[in-house]
Chain A
Amino acid sequence: MRRPFHLALAAAAASLLLLVPGTAPAANESAGLSDDDLACLKCHDRRGFEQKLADGKPRALYVSTEKFAASVHRKDGCAACHSETEDDCEKKKPGERAFKTRREHSVGLMKGCIDCHKGSVLAYEDSVHAALLKKPGDKADKTALCSDCHGSHTEQFFEAAIKCESCHKESVKEHRDWLPKAERHLETVACEACHAPAVPRRVNLRLYVGASPLAVRAGVPQFQKAGGPAGAQTASLDSRALLGLLKELSEEGAAAKTVLRGRLELRSQEEGHRLAEKGKAIKDCAACHREGAEAFRSVMISVVGPDGKTLQAPADQKVLSSLASLDSVGGFYVLGASRIKLLDTLLLLVFVGGTAGPLTHLSLRALARRIREKRAARERGEAKDG
């Protein structure tokens, strides 16, 4: 990583700025930002702030202090990604910069993402997005770069990336052409669950209060008590423990009942960047809907933690097919794959009973008729003899 601009000067400038009413970001907005970052934001936190690039087009330079301070990149600071010095910022003319267009700048910055996000970037490099980037032409200019999906200055842990539909605008229509209930699928199945076909999947059961994801101020002791944190090789939550967890969370002065909403996604978020070309996406319904499908062998319960990060606890895969989960996992059901096993037994019993009952009755009727006929014949014979 390259060194940033003049630290001392920036710090001094930031200190001065803090003394000038109306120009410094409010203290609560800038909480946790370094003096160096505040120096950058002195100029960048101005709406409409932009520069003209060599291609003649403007490049927006505005960064909200409030949003940056709330983002996951706050702790890294501006210099972690940007190498420009103050001179670069203020004195270089468009033609003197290393990049001529906004796109070139974004491609250049992307090379730095690997410093912190190695797994994601390596997966991206194996994706259709990266493959298109290497091809000359129109598609290379339009394919997704890191910053196209992730708001680098505003990124938060939960619901981080921009939705795929923001670029793939025809995706709902295209899915509707072949996928029954396409909207429902797109709501409950993450795009990458089908479009990264080589990556293992799982069911994420998120805790919600009403329509909002449950965000906890502290950890969830119930997780540790009943299941242990994700990654730890402890026993996972079974149907009964899950029901108890929901009951306990609903009782803690919550305005609404805590419920679970399920979503099919990848086990590794990093691997979600390994998106294959469209033709290789999973299109076989049975891949998910058959009993024992790979996607349903891993189940996680998740909640938004105090720092915005997702807290997770593993759950027993049987919570998806147990009658005891009728209430707790009421909002998640996959035809075929998460069916309740007890009903299979009931169906078998009814089938056997419904077949054997009439057959037995029919046989007894035939037998009784034969006995009656024989008896009648004997009686006729006796009457004749008599």
Chain B
Amino acid sequence: MDQEYVHPLPVRLWHWANMAFFVILILTGLQIRYVGSVDVIPFRASVLIHNGVGLALVANYAVWLGFYLFSDKKKVYHPILNPMQYFRETFRQIRFYTYGIFAGEPNPHHVSAYHKFNPLQLITYQVIMLILLPLQIYTGLLMWDVKRFPGLVAASGGVRVLDTVHVVIFIVFVGYVLVHPYLTTMGHTPGAHLKAMVTGYEEVEDKPG
């Protein structure tokens, strides 16, 4: 198998830091929301950790955004503009996950440095990184210090609206964090994608010639 350098160092550093922040934020978020029913970490400590790690996640997001804005690797996030191609590739990928993988067929998506995501991953990461995470950061920052941003809080519909949006996105992220590790096992070996996110190199089928 050939080796393809798919995950540059800044992306890998961002990814693993982001994973740690996500897990901590989800756990402390659960503790804050369900205090009294779950009492693993004191409420005050949960709030302080949640706030601190939340700010660290904002800084980490800036690293990710900076890298992709100023690197030609941003192409991996470019949408597929041809609708027919998009639907064809999406259907092919859905067929693989629901049938092909059981029949022992190879993954129809071929990874390369500028074509890292299959169509389902592409739409998922576009939504997460460009819509949900910025929205989560916005609502989180406003709730972090309501008195610092009174105008924005009011314009956003008040604290209850902010919290509801924050929690809905949190629920989406909980689902994502549960499913994402499983999807990493869909490489040619169960640990192939995980290894690639450590070394940066994906093992791909030999190129012809």
Contacts and interface: CB of A to CB of B under 8 A. Distances in A.
Interface of A: 178, 180-181, 183-184, 187, 285-286, 289-293, 323, 325-327, 329-333, 335-336, 338-340, 343, 346-347, 350-351, 353-355, 357-358, 361-362, 364-365, 368-369, 372
A330 B175 contact: no
A346 B182 contact: no
A325 B157 CA distance: 12
29 contacts: A180-B44, A184-B146, A285-B35, A289-B35, A289-B36, A291-B36, A291-B37, A292-B36, A323-B164, A325-B160, A332-B159, A333-B159, A333-B163, A335-B47, A336-B33, A339-B163, A339-B167, A343-B164, A343-B171, A346-B168, A351-B175, A354-B179, A355-B178, A361-B97, A362-B185, A364-B102, A365-B101, A365-B102, A372-B103
Given A286-B43, A326-B160, A357-B179, A184 B147 contact: yes
B11 to A, nearest CB: 24
B32 interface: yes
A358 B101 contact: no
A286 B45 CA distance: 12
Given A183-B147, A291-B34, A335-B47, 14 more contacts: A178-B44, A180-B47, A285-B44, A285-B47, A286-B36, A323-B164, A326-B160, A327-B161, A330-B161, A340-B164, A347-B171, A354-B174, A354-B178, A365-B101
Given A290-B37, A365-B101, A365-B102, A331 B159 contact: yes
A187 B103 CA distance: 63
Nearest to A347: B171
B145 interface: yes
A212 B51 CA distance: 32
A335 B32 contact: yes
Contacts of B164: 323, 326, 340, 343
Contacts of B182: 358, 361-362
Contacts of B146: 181, 184
A15 B157 CA distance: 58
A37 to B, nearest CB: 44
A78 B15 CA distance: 74
> A-side binding surface: helix, strand, loop or mixed?
helix
A353 B179 CA distance: 9
A37 B171 CA distance: 66
Nearest to B39: A286
A332 B47 CA distance: 18
A286 B35 contact: yes
B186 to A, nearest CB: 9
B209 interface: no
Nearest to A376: B104
A292 B34 CA distance: 11
A187 B147 contact: yes
B43 A285 contact: yes
A340 B159 CA distance: 13
B147 A353 contact: no
B187 interface: no
A364 to B, nearest CB: 6
B152 interface: no
B167 A343 contact: yes
